[in-house]
Every structure is written in structure tokens, then in C-alpha cells.
A and B are shown apart, each in its own frame.
Chain A
Amino acid sequence: MCRIGAIKSKEFFHPSAALHLMLPQQEGHDNSGFAMVMQDLAGVFSKHKDKPLLSLACTQKGAKLVEDYMEANDFRQLAEWIPRGVKNVKLDIKAMPYYIFRNYDYPEYYRDASEEAKGELLLDTRLALRELLEKQEQGYVYSFWPDVLTLKEIGDPWDIATYFKLWDNNGDLMAKNVVVQCRQNTNYDIVRYAAHPFFLQGYTLCANGENTFYTKNKEYQKSLHRGYIGFESDSQNFLYTLHYVLQELKWPIKYYKHVITPLPFNELSLRSDGAELRAIRQSLGSLEINGPNTVIGMLPNGNIITCCDSKKLRPVVVGGDGTMVAIASEVCGLNAILPHRNQEQDVYPNEREVVIINDALEVERWKQ
């Protein structure tokens, strides 16, 4: 099993908080990787929050390929954070030669474009870079979006943090929202693209569990959107469905749960919105998930959601103290970073529940 978590705070915090959230849960993962997506950044990137930030890991040749591509497509570099890895043979990390986190300004002719058009451009650019790097096996591009940074690596989470100097807080890298995962890799070869969280046009998602409708979901999603690619992990299905329901269909968030874990038909017929829910279940049957799962998602507006599958439930708990709310697979993670919170107010979402945390850190829960 993986362990997943998220932190949302009113104040900027350092990513070491995410490590402190995850490390106590170590027994549940096999220390084979660490990954996080940070949103709403401060530090190096604070001046360019409206400009897209590219996160990638690559070889020297890969870096050159990316530079050339970006230049050819009129993206102008604004700011950069290149972690100089701690070279230490004892560290358990399969490091890539280069990690690049770089802010760009939009191409000139896009500066006045609508947000939507910019969103499409950023996606197309990331997909093009991915293809470029993949073809020549020169690296991995994780996200390209304003105010979003993704860091992923294979190895022991503690050592990865040491390598990236995530233990020392020098103020370079701060955020208000983080979604994080430590992995237990059961199903797949260790592939960087298979590591959660996954990101697409402002939507971040990680999941703990196994989606046994992977084939069904994948076969359907493949033709829904050009951004639904890879499928290295069955949890990408959750992200693509989240993106499809919210971004493409533009349905309210509560319908996400109705799509992935629809109510049984006999319950639908008892509800006043039964006709709508039935129509949704009917038309989106291929996006139903199955298997034990817990999902944590982060939306473009910074809201963080969590919910589970409808039968088998992987555990997840939400707790907070007024300035910070955290979600974790196990309560020991919360205890590590929020020891003084009122534990009685911790929320353990049930199989029909969705929990949303907004910017005011209000924890909203509603039943499907």
C-alpha cells in the first residue's frame, strides 16, 4: 500500500512538513519513492505566481532539448530553482542528473489570451516536451502550470529529502498547499511517471489503493481528451475523471463522487435527483471505479478534496488546528505535524462522503 497525504495551510510552510506527515506512516510503504505537488508558492517563485512553472527531471541532453523547444516556442525564462543534489553514495536515491524548476513567461502572442487558451497551450507544451524527452529517453516532465511545482524521485523518502536539502528550511521553497505520496510499488515496474501525485491543468491527484476497473476506465478515457495519456498507474484514472467532470463537463464537484462510485440503482430510484444521477451513471458507466481506494485531489482553486471508494475503503483521516489542515492515510502522520489539534474533530470520511477543505480551511463534508 502507498501512503498519501496533503497539507493546506493559511500560512506558507516548508515541504519538510510534508515529510514529517509521511515518515511516521513509514511502515505502510516500502520506502521506494517520494513525490509531492506544491501549489500556491512562496520563495524563489513568489514573483511569478501567474506564470507557468515547469517541473522536470532529465539528463544534460534532455535539458538542452527542453531549452531549445521552449525557445523555439517563444517561452521566455523568468526564474529558476535548480537543486544542487547532495552527492553521497550512501543515499538511497535513483537521482537524475538534472532537476529543473523554471518559471517562464507566456509567448508574446499568448499574453492577452483567455485563461482557457493559456491552459490549452500549457498542456500542449507539456505533452510535446514529454514526447520529446520520452522518445530519446532523456527525462521526465511532471507539470507545467502557474504556481505549481512537482518533485518526484525513486528511493528512500528520507534520503530523497536529504538529497534535495528539503530538511533545511532556507525559505527558498514554500507553499500553502501540498499533496504528497510515499509509495509502495506493488503493481508496476518502478517508473517515474507511475508515481503519484499526477497533475493535469491545475488538477492534482494521488490515490491509495487499486482500481480494478483500470482497463475499462483507460479504454474510455483514451478517447476523451488528448491529455489523458500514460496510464502508467491505475490512479491516473481518478485524475482524468476529476478533470473530465470538472473541467470538460463543467459539472459541480459533488458529481465526481457520483461518477466514480455511483449509487446502486435501487437507491437511485428513491432520490429526488434520481433521474439525473441515473443519466450520469448510464452515460459515464465506463468511469466507475472499483477496488479499495482513497483519493486526495487538489483543484485549480486550491481546494483539497478527499473521498473513498464505496465498498472497501482505504483509511484516510482529516484533522486541523485553524491554521493548518492535513489529510493522511494514518492518524500518526497528523499527530506528527499537528500534535495540538483537537483530535475529537478529526474526520474519517465514510464510503459515501466527500470532504472538501477550502482556502478559509473550512472542512466541508457532504454525503453523496
Chain B
Amino acid sequence: METIKTQDITVNDLPWKIECKPDRCTMCGSCVAACTFQAIMPAVERRSITVSTGHRPEPSQKHSAVLTIKQRNNIENACTGCGMCEKICPNQAIKPVRNPDSRFSLLARKGGSPIKRGGRTSLNSGRTLDNIIVGRISQMTDPALDSERHTFDILAPFGRVLMPHELPLSVVNGTLNLTAKLPPVNWIYPIIFSDMSIGALSTRAWEAVALATAYLNEKHNMPVRMSSGEGGMPVKLLESEQLKYMILQIASGHFGWNRIVKAIPKMKVDPAGVLIKIGQGAKPGDGGLLPAAKVADHVQAIRGVPKADLMSPPNHQGLYSIEESVQKMFLSMNAAFKFRVPVAIKCAASATSVSVYNNLLRDPYRICGGFFLDGIQGGTGAANEISLDHTGHPVVSKTRECYLSAVKQGRQGQIPLWAGGGIGLTGNAAADAFKVICLGANGVFLGKILIQLLGCVGNEHGRCNACNTGKCPAGICTQDPRLVERLDIDKGAQNIVEYMLALDSELRKLMAPIGNSSLPVGRSDALVTTDQAIAEKLAIQYVC
């Protein structure tokens, strides 16, 4: 008999417990090979078995050593619940089970360092949008449209829109003529594939998203744009025709920007836009982090960096004020592309978002071509859990506030509002997008849901979310060539394409009953809610 050492970590302290049925297991070893976290291992256990082989019961007890699958009981190799073992087991002999008595959060700060993980916030997964219903259905006086038969203009602006009286128009023979160039505006699909970098993603995963983007544009006429994420992109793509589907991102680390600037003379087409990332919805203020484990050779090449932890500071260096950002960043980005490419800005939703938006609206240079608001429910590849779960701001009310603030000044639509962070959290991105658009957004951006379509199994209930470890079991958030192989690019891209086609039909299914053939931006009268507090906050109708 051993004495219990209560400080020892046991499987029951971990967030997931492996359930293995020895009677079904053939000890093929597939699960052990598949587990990227080395959470399980083959083990030998001593068993006592009672057997009776004769015609009459003659029980005898046998001791034997049997092979079995055993869960490792340490923090480093804690099972993440990713379920790859279950997926691969030919005999349905093994599966992870969530452990409600986990002491993980107490034990995982071992060595004095904060808990790190990827994914989304787990504490703030409440869903305002699910409490909102599209409640103004056209009936007698305004017939609904037919989602199959009517044509719909499902497009959103990316670029700075002028006030009508600012348009450089002159009347010649009863006809208006533009007398000067307008700031560039691209009308694109109201859903942007949002900035996930090569580095955070495996090249294959990134390529799958890029492939889906090109396919949607070229085969299905859906002008979906993809934001590169910080860190640049392959030169081959920079110099290809497909660059026109890409929004180049520059973030505080300025990674990869050199390469982009060098490629500008060789670009055949302009990119769809430039997105300056000031902050992001997940872990705002924490900056970006690409752990060294994920800085593979090609990432070093694209970003022009050595193998080390790559930190994007939480703020742009030398960026002390909004005014400075407007002047410096925007001007240089605009100038780099000779004012042909719209430049937008992405900020974390925050208590101060409205003032930032107002400042941009009033900026006399009129060069901010979009305000991307990223909410607390956005995903990330690597973060301190404390930042992920305890900092940030929901995006829905903030988007609404920004819109209404623009309305107050008669400036709605001038700097298109794009909302993200939790759009599609429950898998229903069309409904989410539609509702946010009715509240005043011009469009939305998606990130996490795309990698979920590629096979990511992470969720807001503590499943996987090991994106920071370089051991992504789905081959998405890793640079390990063996893991990356797990991802089938074509199948992944196809999943995204099919999802987007369904989403497009679903958007029509929502536009048709409210009788609108173009996007109902700001049509808050189309929405109702059964929650009084939401009704009050968002200025929509309360119903019960």
C-alpha cells in the first residue's frame, strides 16, 4: 500500500479524462500516434482475471500483464479533448470525457508563468445576437421578395465614401460629370475572411482559405475578400492576378511589410485594400505573439525574421494619438499604392471605440476607408488566458453605438463599419451578419469559423484551443510538416466554399421577407428582441 501524496497530479486533476474500453481495444496504437499532445501512451497493467474453462464452474484466478492505453497525468501532456484518438480508433474504444472536477486552472500556472492558449474567450460566450429576431416581416402592404427569383445586391463598401455635397460633380448639359478622382472604394461581399497570418496558420491552411476566396470569386461571382493577416504573404501571390482578392494587413510588428513594399513594382493588379491593425478583439492590448515553435523556415522567409518568439507590440511604435495614426500610417499606406487602394483600420472594440470612430469621421484628409471593430469573442492563435477571458468588449452594442454616433452627425456610411469577433460563433454566420448589418454595420469579418470549416475542433468549452503550442491536431495552427499533412487543402477549401454558398442563400432568405433587395444597413426597425435590456441598449423594439 502506498501513501497518498496529495500534491501529485492525477488524471482527475486534468480537464479531460480518457475513457478507454479495454474489451474493444486491439492495441493497434493509432490513437497514441495520432495524439499530438502525447496525452496517452501504451502501458502495461497487471490484471487479475477470474476464469472458468470446464463444464462445471471451476473458477480460478489468473494474474496477467495486459497492454492498455493510459492517459498521462501531467500538465504538459494534459489531454485537450481534441478527439483525434476517437476519430482514428477503428473500434470506438477510446474517447475524451470532460472532467467537471478539473483542477487544471490551479495547477497549470506551474513555474510562475501565466496560462497560454488559443481560441476564443470562454467566459464571455453570451450571445446578444441570439436574442434578436428579424421581426418585421413584409405582409400585406409590402410584399416580400422571392429569395430565388429576385436579384439581390449583396455588396458592401470598402473605402472612404464622401458626403453627397463633397462629391466633385459638375453639371454639363443636364448631366453630372466627375471633375476629380474620388477616394477608392471597392464594393465587395459583406463578409471578409479575416486576418489570420501565415505563421499563426499553417501555409496549407492559409492556402485553403486563399483558394476558397479565389474560387468564390471566379466560379461563383461572389466578391469575397481575404485579409492576409500580419506577416505578409508568398511573393508568388503578391505578383499574381489573385492579389486583387487580398487585403494586405499591416500590424504593429510590421512583419512582412518589407517584402510587400519590394513587390509593389511587380504587382500586376492592386490588392483589394490595406488593413492597418491597431488592435484585435481577443486579448486586446496584449499584442500579437507567434511562439518560436511556429516560426518555421518559410515563416522566417516571409516575415524576414530569425526563429524566435515573434512579438507584435500591443501598440504601433510611435503611435501616441489617433491623429498621428491617421496622418502617418494612412498617408504612407495610401501613398504606397498611389491612392488607388482603400486603407482601413482595425481596432479592438472598447469603451472608447466611439471616440476613435468620431475622430476618423472628422479627419479632414478623409482617407480612412473602413473601421473594423473586433469584439471580445474573436479568436486568436496564442494568448495569455487571462487576457483572453478577462479583457475585451462585446462588438454588437459597440457597432451600434458607432453607427448611431455617425447618424447623429449625418455621416453614416462614410467610413464603412465592419464588425467581427464572434460572428458565426454558433455556426450561423448569415443570421449574425444580417442582424449586425441591420444594426448599422456595412459588413462583417469571419476568422475562427473558417478554420473550424477546415477541421479545427476547438470551442468555447475548453476543447483543444492549443493553437499556441504548434501541435494543432488538425494541421491548421502549426508549422510541423507532419501535422500539416493532416489538412486536405482541397477538401478544406471546398468546405469553406460550400458554407459561403449556403450563407449567401441564407442572407437572401433574410432579405426577402423584409422586402429588401439591397443590404438593410441600419434597418434596425427590422429587428425585435425578447430582452428588454437589449432593446433599450440597441434601440430596437422589445417584444414578448
Task: Tell whether, in the assembled complex, residue B518 and residue A273 are in contact, meaning their CB atoms are under 8 Å apart.
Answer: no
Give a binary string over A271-309; 1 marks a CB under 8 Å from any B CB, 0 the rest: 001011001101111101011100000000000000000
Nearest Cβ distance between residue A251 and chain B, in whole angstroms?
Answer: 6
Q: Which residues of chain B are within 8 angstroms of A186 by Cβ–Cβ distance?
A: 140-141
Task: Tell whether, in the assembled complex, residue A276 and residue B141 are in contact, meaning their CB atoms are under 8 Å apart.
Answer: no
Nearest Cβ distance between residue B436 and chain A, in whole angstroms?
Answer: 15
Task: Tell whether, in the assembled complex, residue B407 and residue A220 are in contact, meaning their CB atoms are under 8 Å apart.
Answer: yes
In the complex the two chains form, what is the Cα distance from A199 to B136 in whole Å?
A: 29
Quick check: is B151 within 8 A (CB to CB) of the other chain?
yes
Task: Tell whether, in the assembled complex, residue A284 and residue B176 are in contact, meaning their CB atoms are under 8 Å apart.
Answer: no
Task: Tell whether, in the assembled complex, residue B413 and residue A285 are in contact, meaning their CB atoms are under 8 Å apart.
Answer: yes
Nearest Cβ distance between residue A249 and chain B, in whole angstroms?
Answer: 6
Quick check: is B150 within 8 A (CB to CB) of the other chain?
yes
Task: Decide yes or no: A251 and B171 within 8 Å by CB, A276-B177, A283-B162, A291-B515 being known contacts.
Answer: yes
Chain A, Cβ-Cβ closest to B410? A223
Nearest Cβ distance between residue B175 and chain A, in whole angstroms?
Answer: 7
Task: Tell whether, in the assembled complex, residue A223 and residue B153 are in contact, meaning their CB atoms are under 8 Å apart.
Answer: no
Q: Which residues of chain B are within 8 angstroms of A248 by Cβ–Cβ distance?
A: 165
Of the stretches A26-34, A139-147, A207-215, the one at the interface is A207-215
Q: Which residues of chain A are within 8 angstroms of B143 by Cβ–Cβ distance?
A: 292, 312
Task: Tell whether, in the assembled complex, residue B169 and residue A276 are in contact, meaning their CB atoms are under 8 Å apart.
Answer: yes
Nearest Cβ distance between residue A70 and chain B, in whole angstroms?
Answer: 32
Chain A, Cβ-Cβ closest to B159? A282
Quick check: is A187 within 8 A (CB to CB) of the other chain?
yes
Query: Which residue from A215, A244, A250, A311 sits with its C-beta under 8 Å from B145?
Result: A311
Quick check: is B412 within 8 A (CB to CB) of the other chain?
yes
Task: Tell whether, in the assembled complex, residue B518 and residue A288 are in contact, meaning their CB atoms are under 8 Å apart.
Answer: yes
Task: Tell whether, in the assembled complex, residue A252 and residue B171 are in contact, meaning their CB atoms are under 8 Å apart.
Answer: yes
Nearest Cβ distance between residue A279 and chain B, in whole angstroms?
Answer: 6
Q: Which residues of chain B are within 8 angstroms of A220 by Cβ–Cβ distance?
A: 407, 410, 412
Chain A, Cβ-Cβ closest to B515? A212
Query: Which residue from A214, A282, A290 sits with its C-beta under 8 Å from B185?
Result: A282
Give a binary string over A51-94; 1 marks a CB under 8 Å from any B CB, 0 the rest: 00000000000000000000000000000000000000000000
Q: Which residues of chain A are within 8 angstroms of B413 by Cβ–Cβ distance?
A: 283, 285-286
Quick check: is A172 within 8 A (CB to CB) of the other chain?
no
Q: Which residues of chain A are within 8 angstroms of B522 by Cβ–Cβ distance?
A: 215-216, 219, 286
Nearest Cβ distance between residue B231 and chain A, in whole angstroms?
Answer: 32
In the complex the two chains form, what is the Cα distance from A114 to B140 in whole Å?
A: 48
Q: Which residues of chain B are within 8 angstroms of A244 by Cβ–Cβ distance?
A: 164
Quick check: is A117 within 8 A (CB to CB) of the other chain?
no
**Interface residue ranges of B489-544 to A (CB < 8 Å):** 514-518, 520-525
Quick check: is B305 within 8 A (CB to CB) of the other chain?
no
Query: Which residue from B155, B176, B409, B514 sits with its C-beta under 8 Å from A223?
Result: B409
Q: Which residues of chain A are within 8 angstroms of B150 by Cβ–Cβ distance?
A: 311
Task: Tell whether, in the assembled complex, residue B514 and residue A212 are in contact, meaning their CB atoms are under 8 Å apart.
Answer: yes
Query: Which residue from B169, B174, B409, B521 sits with its C-beta under 8 Å from A285?
Result: B521
In the complex the two chains form, what is the Cα distance from A252 to B169 in whole Å?
A: 12
Task: Tell whether, in the assembled complex, residue A254 and residue B174 are in contact, meaning their CB atoms are under 8 Å apart.
Answer: yes
Quick check: is A230 within 8 A (CB to CB) of the other chain?
no
In the complex the two chains form, what is the Cα distance from A288 to B516 in whole Å?
A: 11
Q: Which residues of chain B are within 8 angstroms of A98 by Cβ–Cβ distance?
A: none
Task: Tell whether, in the assembled complex, residue A251 and residue B155 are in contact, meaning their CB atoms are under 8 Å apart.
Answer: no
Quick check: is B142 within 8 A (CB to CB) of the other chain?
yes
Task: Tell whether, in the assembled complex, residue B523 and residue A216 are in contact, meaning their CB atoms are under 8 Å apart.
Answer: yes
Quick check: is A128 within 8 A (CB to CB) of the other chain?
no
Task: Tell whether, in the assembled complex, residue A215 and residue B525 are in contact, meaning their CB atoms are under 8 Å apart.
Answer: yes
Q: Which A residues form the contact surface with B (CB < 8 A)?
A: 1, 186-187, 209-210, 212-216, 219-220, 222-224, 244, 248-252, 254-255, 264-265, 273, 275-276, 279-280, 282-286, 288, 290-292, 311-312
The 5 closest A-B pairs by CB, nearest first: A223-B410, A215-B525, A210-B142, A291-B142, A210-B141
- 17 of the cross-chain contacts (CB-CB < 8 Å) are A186-B140, A212-B516, A212-B523, A216-B523, A251-B171, A252-B175, A254-B174, A273-B176, A276-B169, A276-B176, A276-B178, A279-B182, A283-B161, A286-B412, A286-B413, A292-B141, A311-B517
Contacts A213-B520, A285-B413, A290-B518 aside, 4 further interface pairs with beta carbons under 8 A come to A187-B141, A213-B516, A216-B522, A252-B175
